[in-house]
Amino acid sequence: MRITILVFAKLRDLVGTPQLVRDVAAGSTIEDVWQALAGEFPAAAPYRAALSAAVNAGYAKFSTPVAEGDHVAFLPPVSGG
Amino acid sequence: MPETPILLLSLTSGALDVQAVIRRAEDEAGSGRHGAVAVFIGNVRGENLGRRVLELHYEAYEPLALNAFGIITAEAGEAWPGVAIAIRHRVGRVAIGDASIVIAAASPHRAEAFQACRYVIERVKQIAPVWKREIFEGGEAWIEGATADPSDAAARKAAYERACG
């Protein structure tokens, strides 16, 4: 199934683009999506412990399953305000 | 020229109009129900970590940031019923001395307004998906703070305790 991955700030710099479209296996979780991304962009891999995630603009746990057409976002530590 | 009303929770690439944010919170509180308004204005500092800062570039995941503001104001509404809160955050380039965020909390009495306003800025810093890139003399760097997790009860408690401290 096809999903869209969104990355921001320093993570976007490491990946080189703000948005990627990727095919993932049915039953994949956000964690699986991250592992595939980290495999593709090893420089991003050490980020895992500091990241949070969202699906379709709602916060989500890494254990959340993803579905066809989902927008999965990975968020580096935030610094707003 | 008539002014376009702003949304209660919003992001903008334009300069922040503090009075507009205050009015929005007052309107939300309702006529005669805002005996107190507490306002927080976050400005861009010209110095950070011992280096001279030239400007900041803010980036946001906007739909999630608006959701985050909604979560935060709902939390504040639980803790301080009757407090109306407006939040407006800058995105894009922000010059030194300019405001990057304005929060207004309107309530019948001052104690709740001050506490809710402080709570909201603490939570924005903890969970809102907004990032600043610092352009300083001699380089640029992303600033990274908290890992955003709205379900982190310890972080929420810490924000509450700061607000009530």
Confidence of residue B11 (pLDDT cuts 50, 70, 90): very high
Report the distance separating Cα B30 and Cα A67, nearest Å.
42
Name the 3-class secondary structure at A66: coil
- pLDDT tens digit string along B17-46? 999 999 999 999 999 999 999 999 999 999
Cβ contact, residue pair A57, B64, below 8 Å: yes
Report the distance separating Cα A40 and Cα A43, nearest Å.
9
Q: Does B92 touch chain A (CB under 8 A)?
A: no
Encode burial over B142-158: b for 16+ CB neighbours within 10 A, e otherwise.
bbbbbbbbbeeeebbee
Q: Domains (ranges, CATH) in chain B? A: 9-164 (3.90.1170.40)
Give the B window 100-129 contacts with A, CB below 8 Å: 100-101, 121, 124-129
CA distance B148 to chain A (A): 6
Report the distance separating Cα A46 and Cα A79, nearest Å.
19
- pLDDT tens digit string along B53-62? 999 999 999 9
Name the 3-class secondary structure at B102: strand
When CB atoms are compared, the residue of B67, B125, B147 closest to A80 is B125
**Does residue B1 carry a pLDDT above 80?**
no
Find out whether A51 and A30 touch, Cβ atoms under 8 Å: no
Q: How far is CA A62 from the centre of its chain?
A: 9
Task: Supply the pLDDT for residue B75.
Answer: 98
Backbone angles phi, psi at B7, to 5 degrees: -75, 160
Cβ contact, residue pair B147, A51, below 8 Å: yes
CA quadruple A58, A22, B62, A31: dihedral sign: positive
- Per-domain residue ranges for chain A? 2-75
Report the DSSP pairing between strands B84-90 and B9-12: parallel
In eight-state DSSP terms, residue B7 is P
Report the distance separating Cα A25 and Cα A73, nearest Å.
18
Partners of residue B148 in chain A, C-beta under 8 Å: 52, 59, 75, 77-78
CATH of domain A2-75: 3.10.20.30
Confidence of residue B2 (pLDDT cuts 50, 70, 90): low
CA count, 13 A, side-chain hemisphere, A25: 8
Cβ contact, residue pair B131, A50, below 8 Å: no
